[in-house]
Structure 1
Amino acid sequence: MSASQPLRVAVVGAGAFGRNHLRVYRELEQAGQAVQLAGVVDRDSATLAAASEKFGVPGFETIEACLAATGKLDAASICVPTVHHATAAAPLLGAGVDLLVEKPLAANLADADRILELARAHKRIVQAGHLERFNPAVTAARTQLHQPMFFEAHRLSVFTPRSLDVDVVLDLMIHDLDIVLSLVDSPVREVRAVGLPVLSRKVDIANVRLEFENGCVANFTASRVSTERVRKLRFFQPHQYLSLDFARQDLLMIDVTAAAGMDPAQLAALAQLAQQAGQHPSAGLSLKKVPVEQGEPLRLEIESFLNAVRNRTKPLVSAEDGRAALALALEINQAIAAHAARTGLI
């Protein structure tokens, strides 16, 4: 395919996530990028009609109808509920369509393996939709990475009826699990976890401790019943502490050794910066903001996906990465269930 020939794309699922995918594809098309929004699929007629009208795209109630009417599709985003990911992926992969599948990749490992097997059989690209990997603050953090040994992640949100088909580990925590797995080059050795349902029938709040074979430790807290919204990741490595705010796309680094030799004026400026950032480093610690080039993670994710489709390259977040994050999330859920059984919570 020539670089100027538009990639014809569709979005399957016109709910909240799907509408965002539709918006970004349309924005890219209007910006002159080589992409053409060819169709949207949703089995709910009212949702479909609203999305079709809003984005000026043909609407179809089934994937088969979309494929029949639009002809050859190059790529599609799958934004249906997690339990339907594998069912939606199968006919598209069979028709030679490359896929961006919203996280988590599937509801269980059998479905995830089915997606991977179909992708291999039809030589198709599948990218897992872990969009926080494309957060500019995460990209900046990778440039500072050297032997991280402790992570602490907090992802809290207020309760909404969205995504209640999965628990908080698969809904929210999986973002941070995927990022930490990508930053720690070592297998997980031990999982400890506790979680509770609060406002739904599934676990709504969870705390997890992972230990890796290389000695790195990671603590995760996720809640979808919080009174505040928090999306932060902190990690420590020899002589450094980094604090990442996903929402603000900020990356703060505290260096133990860089402050040596600072004159009083420099130390005063450091104290002022720390106060502005809400941090209170002690003497001998150098605090600075790492430059972060701002950008919308979803747009960056979709642009990366389209680049992989056009150039036939492995996506930044592969289907295998999505499966690994899912496998760890499911292991955590097993640990939560075991803890509940031991403590008499079930």
Structure 2
Amino acid sequence: MSSPTVNVVVCGAGAFGRNHLRIYRELQQGGQPVRLSAIVDSDASRLAALKEEFSVPAFATLAGCLEARGNGEIKIDAASVCVPTSEHEAVAAPLLEAGIDLLVEKPIAATKEQAAKLTALAQQHGRILQVGHLERFNPAVVAIRPWLNRPMFFEAHRLSIFTPRALDVDVVLDLMIHDLDIVLSITQSPVRDLHAVGLPILSGKVDIANVRIEFESGCVANFTASRVSTEKVRKLRFFQPHQYISIDYARRDLLVIDVDPKAAPNPSGLPAGLAFHKPVVQPGEPLLLEIESFLESVRTRETPRVSAQDGQAALALALDINAAIAEHAQRAGLDRF
């Protein structure tokens, strides 16, 4: 029995929204039951170019798009919300109220209150609300799940070269939140304590931050994020009983080193007592896998892999970190920097 076609609108067609457009169109052209039905973007010149490129209705406002849907001019079942974080609630709320399932780029919203409102609206209207924490779909992250055995120490580094993208939020909400979500999904433990420091460098918001978190389980995690680095680094390393595991998000690569008294020295330079493993990582583009998972949830009505509650948890922790950064800055007199 064939699946019904999911008609999708992409709201916000900037750098990342354009990737959503690309993937929906590729899936459609590949014969998948999905159709790119419309584009919403406030940039007139960009909208005109995209309308011609994708040959779909294009709207300068969400209200105009929803009006066309209400008049039967277009069909919309689901939407990707790729507008700036500060606009998430204003765009996502009317879509949920109109009965449209959503994939909202991370973070779910700008404030805890806005996130709670969107979660409540999704429940009230029986809608799918998936949050775009992309690294959950990174093949290396997917491959690590069978190896997890009570990790007790995490070290996360996410460094990027400065760009004018996403400057409506700080580096914690822009970059670090990816790693916060991954560690929260692995530890499944409440935060007991956190310490954080951060500084604005090239923007009016914090551009580099370091955080230490202790969980109720006893697990400790250190996070470093920078968007003013001279290099790109996206790595997560953690230790668990008798084992060290390293994830390279960018390379989609996984390394496992076991403490094994029977292991002999090997060509990689590891001493005796350590065994080296390279688990198989299935290839795949994370955004494609994320969108395919979203569409599957829309069809089956199953809870998304990254739920609204997951998005709320990551946002709440990120905002608590920002509060700790602000408190530290005031205590240390960092206004001079």
TM-score with structure 2 setting the length: 0.96
| Aligned equivalents of 1:124, 1:72: Cα separation in 2 | 16
Partner of 2:271: 282
Partner of 1:30: 29
| Aligned equivalents of 2:66, 2:176: Cα separation in 1 | 34
The answer as to whether partners of 2:263 and 2:275 remain within 8 angstroms in 1 is no
Partner of 1:277: none
What amino acid sits opposite 2:66 in the alignment?
L
Are positions 1:135 and 2:141 aligned together? no
CA displacement at 1:59 relative to structure 2: 0.7
CA offset digits 1:277-326 (Å, max 9, x no partner) = xxx53321011111100100000000000000000000000011001000
Partner of 1:49: 48
CA displacement at 1:58 relative to structure 2: 1.6
The one of 217, 238, 245 equivalent to 1:235 is 238
The answer as to whether partners of 1:193 and 1:336 remain within 8 angstroms in 2 is yes
How many residue pairs align between the two structures?
331
The answer as to whether partners of 2:81 and 2:92 remain within 8 angstroms in 1 is yes
Are positions 1:191 and 2:213 aligned together? no
Are positions 1:182 and 2:185 aligned together? yes
Alignment CA distance shift 1:298-1:141 (3 Å):
same
Are positions 1:158 and 2:161 aligned together? yes
Q: Percent identity among equivalent residues? A: 66
| Aligned equivalents of 1:261, 1:198: Cα separation in 2 | 47
CA offset digits 1:170-218 (Å, max 9, x no partner) = 0000000000000002111001000000000100000000000111000
| Aligned equivalents of 1:50, 1:323: Cα separation in 2 | 35
Partner of 1:317: 306
Partner of 1:122: 125
What amino acid sits opposite 1:246 in the alignment?
Y
Question: How is 1:10-89 mapped onto 2 (pairs within 5 angstroms)?
Answer: 10-70=9-69, 71-89=74-92
Question: How is 1:294-309 mapped onto 2 (pairs within 5 angstroms)?
Answer: 294-309=283-298
SS in 2 for 1:299: helix
| Aligned equivalents of 1:331, 1:298: Cα separation in 2 | 28
TM-score with structure 1 setting the length: 0.93
The answer as to whether partners of 2:149 and 2:240 remain within 8 angstroms in 1 is yes
Alignment CA distance shift 1:164-1:261 (3 Å):
closer
Partner of 1:109: 112
The one of 257, 262, 271 equivalent to 1:260 is 262
CA displacement at 1:97 relative to structure 2: 0.3
| Aligned equivalents of 2:144, 2:251: Cα separation in 1 | 14
Q: Where do 5+ consecutive residues of structure 2 fail to align?
A: none
CA offset digits 1:214-260 (Å, max 9, x no partner) = 11000000000000000000010000000000010000000002x61
Are positions 1:336 and 2:336 aligned together? no
| Aligned equivalents of 2:56, 2:254: Cα separation in 1 | 39
Q: Where do 5+ consecutive residues of structure 1 fail to align?
A: 275-279
| Aligned equivalents of 2:145, 2:263: Cα separation in 1 | 28
| Aligned equivalents of 2:89, 2:148: Cα separation in 1 | 35
Are positions 1:6 and 2:8 aligned together? no
CA displacement at 1:261 relative to structure 2: 5.3
Partner of 1:291: 280
The answer as to whether partners of 2:263 and 2:274 remain within 8 angstroms in 1 is no
| Aligned equivalents of 2:75, 2:128: Cα separation in 1 | 16
